[in-house]
Amino acid sequence: MKFDTVVLGGGIVGVSVALQLQRRGLAVALVDRKAPGNETSLGNAGLIQREGVYPYAFPRDFGSLVRYAGNRATDVRYHRAAILKLMPFLYRYWHHSRADRHARIARAYSTLIEHCVTEHRELIDAAGAQALLRTGGWMKIFRTEGAWRQAIEEARRWDAEYGVDYEALDRAALKLAEPSLSSTLAGGVRYKAADSVSDPNGLVTAYAKLFEQLGGKVLLGDAGTLEPSWRVTTRDGTVEAKSAVIAMGPWSGDIAGKFGYDLPLAVKRGYHMHYAPANGAKLNQPVLDVEAGYLITPMVRGIRLTTGVELGYRDAAKTPVQLDAVEPLAREIFPLGARVDAEPWLGGRPCTPDMMPIIGAAPRHRDLWFAFGHAHHGLTLGPVTGRLIAEMITGAPTLVDPTPFRVERF
């Protein structure tokens, strides 16, 4: 089994990399321990965030730090047993989140974000997955007028800097847009240029099927068996390839570490649960309750409630206290019915301290490539990351300057 490239990781990033390489005439094998789309890419909110030019920063104001230190906030929780080990990462994250540094990061990050919708739509059309796509944006909602007006100012600044199209909705306009939401809400901000999908797993599966239709090979195997020049063991035998791409999401650091790359990666854990809508209620778009720290979105399986951030060891047992804390708050805003899932889903977002993904060549190994660390924007940036890696591997002109995303920055 000889290929031009083996891609390790069957999430949205890995599948996008494999698909973009296969479309450019390379023979590609995609290897993961599960079928595509069944790990981290299964559990996200389904957002393609064209407005997400500023990646999620670490809070720096004293009030927020005190609130999070008490470990009772609904949007961020931490495992006490893990916090000492996480402190070096968190300090670097806090350092990069200073306003001037965050603005510099946004200037680089926005070059990827500006292509997220167009790259997804092109692959969606090619894969015949139009039924999963929901256009028209997504919405932040606010319980207090002060928080709403602050969000409008933020959206206005993003629009001025990066052309982020938004719409401010007062109480009446919000009720018109989402009649099933509570009338107690002060207002909302809708980011109109963003898209969303009703089944993230279904989208990754559609991309993977297109990859196979073009001649790509999906194989079940252990990425940990990767050896230089480049070989990996699968259930169907050993794959040999001229180049390898590590796109393993939260597990990428393990594979990179095997080759001597000690990268500052951490995982933000998160949960979701599906609910049946009660009393004929309908939700038209994803909705983030900013002040309570959860998001609800209409999915094929029901209304998906996703939590904020849980900081802890990647492989620690589930502790869905955030889900239990925000569920009553979500029921205040939208009439959720019974839980659909037997238990909460848990996944991990792979993060770097400067909030930007690692995309590019491994500096000490010929023909080894990295594509991971997308944090909250894995689904958003999967296709554009795939295109960028494919262009670099094939020597084509790149859609954006890849320099800010090189691993050498660490």
Q: pLDDT tens-digit profile of 369-387? A: 999 999 999 999 999 999 9
Can you tell me the distance from the alpha carbon of 250 to that of 405, in angstroms, rounded to the nearest whole number? 17
pTM over 0.85: yes
Residue 219 domain boundaries: 2-45+115-119+200-264+353-409
At 182 the pLDDT is: 98
Q: Is residue 222 part of a domain?
A: yes
Q: Which of 315, 334, 354, 270 is nearest to 45 (CA)?
A: 270
**What CATH number corresponds to the domain at position 233?**
3.50.50.60
Q: Is residue 401 part of a domain?
A: yes
Can you tell me the distance from the alpha carbon of 371 to that of 21, in angstroms, rounded to the nearest whole number? 13
Q: What's the domain count of the chain?
A: 1
Helix and strand counts by DSSP (H, E) for the chain: 11, 21
CA distances from 71 to 9, 68, 257 (A): 33, 5, 31
At 322 the pLDDT is: 97
Q: pLDDT tens-digit profile of 57-82? A: 999 999 999 999 999 999 999 999 99
Strands (E), 278-389: 287-289, 294-299, 302-307, 309-311, 336-339, 345-351, 358-361, 368-372
Measured in residues, the chain has a length of 410
Using an 8 Å Cβ cutoff, are 365 and 256 in contact?
A: no
- Using DSSP bridges, classify how beta strands 138-142 and 287-289 pair: parallel, antiparallel or unpaired: parallel
Q: Is residue 24 part of a domain?
A: yes
Q: Is residue 132 part of a domain?
A: no
Read off the DSSP letter of residue 132: G
Q: Is residue 250 part of a domain?
A: yes
Provide the β-strand partners of residue 197. 133
Q: Is residue 92 part of a domain?
A: no
Q: Is residue 380 part of a domain?
A: yes
At 358 the pLDDT is: 98
Both tokens of 14, joined, read 């890995």
Q: pLDDT tens-digit profile of 78-105? A: 999 999 999 999 999 999 999 999 999 9
